[in-house]
Amino acid sequence: MKSIKRKIAIVGLGFALLMGGAAVLAPKASAQDASTEGAKRRVRSKVLPEYPALAKQMNVMGKVKIEATVSADGRVVETRVVGGSPLLVNAATDALKKWRFEPGPKDSTELVEFEFK
For Cα atoms 94, 26, 14, give the angle at the middle one, nearest 5 degrees.
120
- The tens-digit pLDDT sequence of the chain (117 residues) is 555 444 444 434 343 333 333 333 333 344 556 767 667 889 999 999 999 999 999 999 999 999 999 999 999 999 999 999 999 999 999 999 999 999 999 999 999 999 999
**Residue boundaries of the structural domains of the chain:** 29-116
What is the Cβ-side half-sphere exposure of residue 93, based on CA atoms within 13 angstroms?
A: 15
> To which CATH superfamily is domain 29-116 assigned?
TonB (3.30.2420.10)
pTM of the model: 0.70
> What Å distances lie between residue 77 and 49, 67, 107, 111, CA to CA?
18, 11, 9, 14
Distance CA 29, CA 47 (A): 17
pLDDT of 1: 54
